[in-house]
Amino acid sequence: MESCGIVVEYNPFHNGHLHHLQQSKAVTNADVVIAVMSGNFLQRGEPALVSKFVRTKMALKNGVDIVIELPYAFATQKAEDFAKGAVDILASLGCSYICFGSESGNIEQFTKTYTIMQENMTEYNKFVKRYMNEGFSYPEATSRAFKKIAPSSEVVDLSKPNNILGYHYVKAIKDLNLNIQPVTIERIQSGYNDVTLSPSNISSATSIRQTLFKAKDLETIKKQVPMETYEQLVTYQEEYVSFVQWENLWPFLKYRILQSEPEELKDIYEVEEGLENRYIRFAKESITFHEFMEKVKTKRYTWTRLQRTCVHILTNTNKDIMRERSKRAEYIRLLGFTKKGREYLNQYKEHFTLPLITNLSQADPEKIRLDVKAAHMYSFAYPNEIGQKIIKQEYQQPPIME
């Protein structure tokens, strides 16, 4: 059985994701699709709209065969580390391919970009440093630096978010010498950061979430998601009352910031260059998370970077443990599978190069500590009894079988 890996968040699973999933199967002719999915907190520094187990159900009901959790140490990282962890896990599962969506849609552009980057790394790093010193954010500095060393139209436009991730998937494969073939398909219609629903039936996850938070009416997004997703969201809303966003967690983040000394915050992962003082100053003045973010952000630090830092403050994740846990993937946590997925697992699990975890009791407590802390912090977004249910799921929920 040949397997194709995909890297996802499904926050929530929408029609664009369904297109990606179907095209991944079509272009690779794989028997099984394995999704590595972020857990409670996501790459853009946000809490997941719904729990990872609900998102696992969405994935399985829409055609994914196996869902694996991307650990916190990679899921809440910049693109390079996010991609490294995801690709490492997919390779350890024996995936023949990884298929990702991109604005480019041309895999040769990605491999050529990698070659050019390797040949000009010293010069590239000099430009990155120069632009950072001029006050640009890291993503903007890297994009400008690359244009300096490779102005050709034959390479990938690294100012586009999905192209950036795609480049880092390819880079991770080559840097780690992994036996997995990268494939890309072009993203269609809605942009990654669009905040309003598209007139078509494909909208960004961002716009779907924004609509849900404002309208609180699932009918408004019904045509943007597969029926299986819609039904899961309806059930979730009935059972858990509300969808999760940063505002639910703001009181806890504000407490964490204001009860900390600057030196304590300085030890948190990604708190650099005096950010600890800005956080303390503006936490005192802000009533909402959005107001806080508007005050904290600068030209140098993107909203996404600052949100990720907020996640690390909330979970009290220091620099040393994050760097240690994000060197390489250390385990495979199975969240769910279909009948076909179970066949694949039974056939190949003895050949997996990382330990397969189906229950937290099987795991090394130190290795999963960040994921467990993240689950506890995520549970605070819910009323007490429902929050306790979220924690019980973390420890007791077996892999979902579809």
Split at pLDDT 50, 70, 90, the class of 217 is: confident
- Give residue-wise pLDDT tens across range 101-155: 999 999 999 999 999 999 999 999 999 999 989 988 888 888 889 888 887 767 8
Is residue 87 marked as binding? no
Is residue 15 marked as binding? yes
| pLDDT at residue 194 is higher than 80 | no
Is residue 233 marked as binding? no
Query: What is the C-alpha to C-alpha distance for residues 40 and 50, in angstroms, rounded to an integer?
Result: 8
Query: What is the C-alpha to C-alpha distance for residues 201 and 324, in angstroms, rounded to an integer?
Result: 42
Angle (nearest 5°) at CA 221 between 219 and 226? 105
pLDDT of residue 69: 98
Residue pair 76/311 in contact (Cβ under 8 Å)? The answer is yes
Q: Indicate the residue among 323, 350, 382 that finishes a domain.
A: 323
Is residue 168 marked as binding? no
Give the range of the structural domain holding residue 237, as residue numbers without chain letter.
3-103+186-244+327-401
Is residue 290 marked as binding? no
In this structure, are 28 and 96 located in the same domain? yes
In this structure, are 251 and 384 located in the same domain? no
| pLDDT at residue 31 is higher than 80 | yes
Residue pair 21/33 in contact (Cβ under 8 Å)? The answer is yes
In this structure, are 256 and 311 located in the same domain? yes
Q: Which helix (H) or strand (E) holds 37?
A: strand 32-38
What is the separation of C-alpha 219 from the centre of its chain, rounded to a whole number of angstroms?
Answer: 26
pLDDT, greater one: 195 or 229: 229
In this structure, are 267 and 334 located in the same domain? no
Residues β-bridged to residue 41: 47
pLDDT of residue 199: 79
pLDDT of residue 153: 67
| pLDDT at residue 191 is higher than 60 | no
- 64 Cβ contact partners less than 8 Å away, ≥ 6 residues apart: 6, 21, 33, 34, 35, 338
Determine whether 171 is exposed, middle or buried from the number of CB atoms within 10 Å of its CB (0-12, 13-18, 19+): buried
Split at pLDDT 50, 70, 90, the class of 193 is: low
pLDDT of residue 300: 83
In this structure, are 254 and 395 located in the same domain? no
Is residue 376 marked as binding? no
In this structure, are 239 and 353 located in the same domain? yes
Percent of the chain with pLDDT over 70: 98
pLDDT of residue 149: 87
- Give residue-wise pLDDT tens across range 361-385: 889 999 999 999 999 999 999 998 9
CATH number, residue 201: 3.40.50
- Give residue-wise pLDDT tens across range 234-282: 999 999 888 999 999 999 999 999 999 999 999 999 999 899 999 999 9
- 101 Cβ contact partners less than 8 Å away, ≥ 6 residues apart: 16, 20, 162, 166, 184, 185, 186, 187
pLDDT of residue 198: 78
What is the bridge-based pairing of β-strands 356-357 and 181-186?
unpaired
Residues β-bridged to residue 174: none
pLDDT of residue 139: 83
User: Residue 397 falls within a domain, yes or no?
Assistant: yes
- Give residue-wise pLDDT tens across range 149-181: 887 767 888 888 899 999 999 999 999 999 999
| pLDDT at residue 189 is higher than 70 | no
* Per-residue CA distances from 192 to 82, 150, 257 (Å): 17, 25, 31
Residue pair 150/120 in contact (Cβ under 8 Å)? The answer is yes
Is residue 8 marked as binding? yes
Is residue 179 marked as binding? no
In this structure, are 256 and 393 located in the same domain? no
What separation, in Å, do the N-terminal and C-terminal C-alpha atoms of the chain show?
A: 19
Is residue 7 marked as binding? yes
Is residue 101 marked as binding? yes
Residue pair 52/13 in contact (Cβ under 8 Å)? The answer is no
Q: What is the pTM of this model?
A: 0.94
Q: How many domains does the chain have?
A: 2
In this structure, are 205 and 300 located in the same domain? no
In this structure, are 264 and 396 located in the same domain? no
Helix/strand/coil for 97? strand
| pLDDT at residue 21 is higher than 60 | yes
Is residue 18 marked as binding? yes
Q: How large is the C-alpha radius of gyration of the chain?
A: 20
For residue 122, give both structure tokens.
């010293």
pLDDT of residue 241: 81
